[in-house]
Amino acid sequence: MIRLVTTDADRAALAGLRRRWTEEDRGGPVDDPGFEARFAEWLAGAAGRRVAWLAVLDDGAPVGMLNMAIFERMPRPAQPVSRWGYIANTYVTAEHRDRGIGAELVAAALAFAREQRFARIVLAPSERSRPFYARAGFSPAESLFLLELPD
């Protein structure tokens, strides 16, 4: 089941998945006892500008996530408010991949964006995720510019 993150328990599950993803990426546990509190503070600060979804099993165990930042354009006279979304951090636990869960998460985000009448959705896919997002209808953009800033 896919659901919007709305409760404290959902937010904690989101933090847990973010930790799990990092540990998977780094090949083992990450020692950061303050992470969950920092994550909760970050998520609270993004309220109203970001939505997130969880994929959960029938028993409620979280197995996937996706979040989308919402950008609202500066108002223009005689024009309706225009918004667009940026999908980020799509993740499904390794043991639950290739079951359509990621596709369901993306479909939920796309349905939300259509319902909210977003002008577009963008993302920055990893090399590995390009085929996944292409199957969902995404394609390379040629109308955007990018400036990479040094660290």
Q: Which domains does the chain have, with CATH numbers?
A: 2-135 (3.40.630.30)
Q: What is the dihedral of CA 110, 9, 26, 102, to 10 degrees?
A: -30
pLDDT of residue 147: 87
Nearest C-alpha neighbor of 73 from the set 61, 65, 81: 81
Rounded to whole angstroms, how far apart are CA atoms 81 and 75?
6
Rounded distance between C-alpha atoms, residue 33 and residue 25, angstroms: 18
| pLDDT tens, residue by residue, 34-54 | 999 999 999 999 999 999 999
Structure confidence at residue 51 (pLDDT): 97
Model confidence at 151, pLDDT cuts 50, 70, 90, reads confident
Confidence class for position 130, pLDDT limits 50, 70, 90: very high
Q: How far is CA 28 from the centre of its chain?
A: 23
Interval 9-24 mean pLDDT: 97
CB 90, CB 102: distance < 8 Å = yes
- Residue 14's H or E segment, with its range, is helix 8-26
Assess whether pLDDT exceeds 90 at residue 124. yes
Amino acid (one-letter) located at 35: F
Give the Cα separation of 111 and 115 in Å (integer).
6
- pTM comes to 0.93
Q: What are phi and psi of 65, to 5 degrees?
A: -155, 160
